[in-house]
Amino acid sequence: MPGAALKELLINVVHRVRGIMFALLCAFSFASASIAISKASETENPVRVVLLSWATILVLTGPAIVVRRSCVPLTMGEFVIDNICGCVQALATISLNVAIGLVTPAVAVPLYSCMPIVVMLLMIVVDLRLPRPWNVAFTILAIIGVLLITKPPFLEFLVPDDQSLRGLDPLGLILGISSALFYGIYLLLIKKQNEVRSVSTLWMCCMTAIYSVGICATVITIGGIQFVPNMADSFLYCCLAGVFLLLGLVSLVAAVEKETAEVVSILLTSEIFFVFIMQLVLLHIPIDVYSGVGALLIAIACIGISSLESYDRVIDENTNDESEQEISDCESEHTPLVD
């Protein structure tokens, strides 16, 4: 009996925290994909690394096209919107993955993690509402974190003898920030879509993979990027990156189904710390103080923004429930009694 009770207790605990486990698995998978992309980029062009990674995802999710079109036919409007979402997410993932290849994961991933801040700013523009003071404070905190990570020239002027302030690729920094912007736009599009209909994860992954492969192939063709003769190791890392990316995307959807989006956003900031640990252990690349402090400030800002959004949602739900209860009470008072 004690064994059965313990087993039931463990099952209940796992059932309650499975959303958290999926979110942490998503963060770990994305961090692993970042390290694999960085490793492959040591001997391969970052654009070709992204191409091979998403080609792997396309092979794994290709059947989703046939299944989606045969089981749940799409209208022309839905098909166009899905293509737009896939294209925007492709631009986001290409920006992030190429940035990882140009700069270290410990620099690119924290910049991409500013996504909740970008979403908040976009919502302010879309809804035409003023931000709350705490949101402004967390946004400023995130901007400071971004400045510490990107290491603008004025920091080098203030601390001329610090070698860690030199050597970052400007294109990698721009792409890292761009990935947060594109992901923010993608999340808003998906949020609007989910209010109308359910969007299949594999279908969206497949659409993103098609556009990612197409965009990367175009860049390679126009830019004249050459193939590397000995690319067995980099090909393996590219395939691993594709598998981890797909696992992360599927885990993200599972996490959102079990937990609120705010809780998932908070847990996804753990990707920063996963990347730091993996970069130190696997790539043997040290983390400079500026990147570490900047990443910590961004994580605090994202957690703060997500927590405030969650609090506001709970307040709104409680207010709506109270209003509905008052309306129900008024209707019951004015309802005539029937003998």
Report the 10 Å Cβ neighbour count for 96. Answer: 26
* Six-digit token string for 32: 């692993």
H/E segment holding residue 261: helix 261-268
pLDDT above 80: residue 275: yes
Q: How confident is the model at residue 1 (pLDDT cuts 50, 70, 90)?
A: very low
Among 88-102, 119-133, 138-152, 186-200, top mean pLDDT goes to: 88-102
pLDDT at residue 244 in the model: 92
The pLDDT of residue 29 is 92
Terminal CA-to-CA distance of the chain, rounded, Å?
Answer: 56
SS3 129: coil
Cα separations (Å) of 58 from 206, 211, 212, 217, 282?
Answer: 6, 10, 9, 14, 27
pLDDT digits (tens, 9 = 90+) for 26-39: 889 988 998 998 88
Q: Give the phi and the psi of residue 26 in degrees, each rounded to 5.
A: -60, -45
Determine the average pLDDT of the residues in 188-192: 73
* pLDDT beyond 50 at 201: yes
Taking the mean position of all CA atoms in its chain, how far away is CA 111? 11
| pTM for the full predicted model | 0.74
Q: In the chain, what percentage of residues exceed pLDDT 90?
A: 2
* Residues 64-99: tens digit of each pLDDT: 666 655 555 667 777 788 888 888 888 888 888 888
37-54 per-position pLDDT tens digit: 888 888 888 888 888 888
With 0-12 / 13-18 / 19 or more C-beta atoms within 10 angstroms meaning exposed / middle / buried, residue 190 is middle
Reply yes or no on whether the pLDDT at 338 is more than 60.
no
